[in-house]
């Protein structure tokens, strides 16, 4: 405990050793932590949905559409932290208009647009088309026109049309999986390709990002599924929850081993940077890396999941364990992003000194804005769920015709 306190005190103390004069200020702050966190949730939620679609994991049907909507809500907000962080946000579109093709960041913009426009929106549209038409037929007034507009004028519900929807949906999912991998692998690449920075520069970076994305996305769906079901006064489908738990454990084990591997490899290689990196870990990052990311965010939830999944415990208890694990995982993954992004800037590229990150409260790049950005996707999800109720139906019942809607 004493060392923790001592570390915490030192962490507040400011710069130690020698840092280049231009390095005094950290250039990427909390907004850039939020950004890969959000894109990770998108990729994770989408990959989860695809599991059901492509590999026909039917236990996951209750979360299929919900995952797609979640991915969309988070994707819509994901570029905002990046935008808010730009020195000249009014020029942001230049990244699309005059991109520099050798720049990872510029190319990420296109991966993003591709994913949003071609994959996610199209997949949702094909998946919901039949329901949209049904809702349009059943509603009156403005709502009717709204749904007709959403259907984009394609109102046929013939068997062929529905079969086409199903086929198109499956095809898009097939493109969608590599695209989701690309989306988050690319965020990892943006960091991993900075050779000037020994904390980032690792070929494993894209892969570690990807698996942590999957973990965070699945955990998020556990939370959203449990909370929404509760508020709708429905029973939680334990099969679905158990399946989610299983995927979560597998993904976490892969993620954790990859990170461990990366760590051991660095230690073993013991390059010039190892001294400054280890002193960074034992000082500045001690709480966020060892305690928050590894102990609270990885080991504890893994234990909880294993207990819920493989021990004979009552459902009530299981649900609680899943819920707690999912929350801890979010803490852990957020810490992961924090440690990567900020950790990479806490030591000088002179490899001679450490600096500190001073978190603002109310500035554009402060804590307050970040919290707002983290809440916004849930607001969007709330609206989306009202417009496109995900609770029933979906591609797996392609022949269904205008069902008697019990819920709006």
Q: Is 257 in the site for other proteins (CB under 8 A)?
A: no
* Residue closer to other proteins, measured from CB, 26 or 119: 26
Q: Are 201 and 194 in contact (CB under 8 A)?
A: yes
Q: Are 332 and 291 in contact (CB under 8 A)?
A: no
Q: Is 28 in the site for other proteins (CB under 8 A)?
A: yes
Q: Is 366 in the site for other proteins (CB under 8 A)?
A: no
Q: Is 27 in the site for other proteins (CB under 8 A)?
A: yes
**DSSP 3-state assignment of 5?**
helix
* Residue closer to other proteins, measured from CB, 360 or 397: 360
Residues within window 72-111 making contact with other proteins, judged by CB under 8 A: 82, 85-89, 91-92, 94-95, 98-100, 102-106, 109
Q: Of 7, 8, 16, 23, which one interacts with other proteins (CB under 8 A)?
A: 23
Helix, strand, coil % over all residues of the chain, rounded to 5:
75, 0, 25
Q: Are 49 and 244 in contact (CB under 8 A)?
A: no
For residues 60 and 218, what is the distance between their CA atoms, to the nearest angstrom?
11
Stretch binding other proteins (CB under 8 A), from 39-47, 134-142, 297-305, 344-352:
344-352
Q: Total binding residues for other proteins by CB under 8 A?
A: 42
Q: Which long-range contacts (CB under 8 A, 24 or more apart) does 48-52 make?
A: 48/214, 48/217, 48/218, 48/221, 48/244, 48/247, 49/173, 50/173, 50/176, 50/177, 50/180, 51/247
Residues within window 104-143 making contact with other proteins, judged by CB under 8 A: 104-106, 109
Q: Is 56 in the site for other proteins (CB under 8 A)?
A: no
For residues 8 and 78, what is the distance between their CA atoms, to the nearest angstrom?
31
* Residue closer to other proteins, measured from CB, 8 or 15: 15
In the complex, minimum distance from the CB of residue 273 to other proteins, in angstroms, rounded to a whole number: 11
Q: Is 348 in the site for other proteins (CB under 8 A)?
A: yes
Stretch binding other proteins (CB under 8 A), from 15-23, 35-43, 286-294, 327-335:
15-23
Copy the structure tokens of residue 8: 């915490």
Site string for other proteins, 188-207 (x = CB under 8 A): --x--xxxxx----------
In the complex, minimum distance from the CB of residue 293 to other proteins, in angstroms, rounded to a whole number: 22
Q: Are 80 and 137 in contact (CB under 8 A)?
A: no
Q: Are 23 and 344 in contact (CB under 8 A)?
A: no
Exposed/middle/buried for residue 68 (C-beta within 10 Å: 0-12, 13-18, 19+): buried
Q: Is 21 in the site for other proteins (CB under 8 A)?
A: yes
Site residues (vs other proteins, CB under 8 A): 18-25, 27-28, 82, 85-89, 91-92, 94-95, 98-100, 102-106, 109, 190, 193-197, 344-345, 348-352
């Amino acid at each position: 405990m004493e060392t923790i306190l001592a570390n915490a005190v030192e962490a507040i103390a400011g710069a130690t050793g020698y840092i280049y004069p231009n390095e005094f200020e950290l250039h990427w702050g909390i907004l850039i932590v939020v950004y890969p966190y959000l894109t990770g949730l998108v990729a994770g939620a989408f990959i989860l949905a695809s599991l059901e679609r492509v590999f026909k994991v039917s236990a996951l049907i209750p979360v299929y559409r919900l995952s797609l909507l979640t991915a969309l809500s988070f994707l819509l907000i994901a570029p905002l932290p990046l935008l808010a962080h730009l020195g000249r946000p009014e020029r942001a579109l230049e990244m699309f208009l005059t991109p520099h093709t050798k720049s990872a960041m510029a190319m990420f913009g296109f991966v993003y647009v591709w994913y949003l426009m071609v994959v996610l929106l199209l997949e949702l549209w094909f998946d919901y088309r039949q329901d949209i038409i049904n809702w349009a037929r059943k509603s009156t007034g403005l709502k009717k026109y709204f749904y007709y507009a959403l259907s984009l004028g394609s109102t046929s519900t013939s068997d062929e049309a529905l079969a086409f929807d199903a086929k198109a949906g499956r095809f898009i999912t097939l493109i969608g999986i590599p695209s989701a991998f690309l989306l988050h692998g690319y965020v990892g690449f943006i960091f991993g390709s900075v050779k000037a920075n020994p904390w980032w520069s690792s070929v494993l970076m894209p892969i570690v990002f990807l698996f942590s994305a999957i973990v965070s996305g699945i955990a998020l769906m556990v939370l959203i599924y449990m909370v929404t079901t509760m508020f709708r006064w429905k029973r939680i489908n334990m099969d679905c929850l158990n399946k989610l738990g299983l995927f979560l454990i597998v993904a976490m084990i892969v993620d954790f081993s990859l990170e461990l591997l990366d760590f051991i490899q660095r230690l073993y290689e013991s390059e010039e940077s190892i001294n400054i990196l280890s002193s960074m870990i034992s000082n500045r990052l001690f709480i966020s890396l060892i305690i928050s990311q590894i102990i609270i965010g990885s080991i504890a939830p893994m234990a909880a999941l294993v207990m819920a999944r493989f021990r004979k415990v009552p459902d009530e208890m299981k649900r609680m364990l899943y819920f707690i694990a999912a929350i801890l995982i979010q803490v852990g993954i957020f810490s992961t992003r924090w440690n990567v992004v900020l950790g990479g800037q806490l030591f000088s590229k002179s490899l001679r000194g450490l600096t500190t990150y001073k978190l603002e409260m109310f500035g554009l790049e402060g804590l307050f804005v970040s919290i707002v950005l983290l809440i916004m996707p849930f607001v969007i999800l709330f609206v989306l769920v009202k417009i496109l109720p995900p609770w029933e139906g979906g591609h797996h019942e392609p022949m269904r015709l205008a069902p008697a809607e019990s819920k709006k």
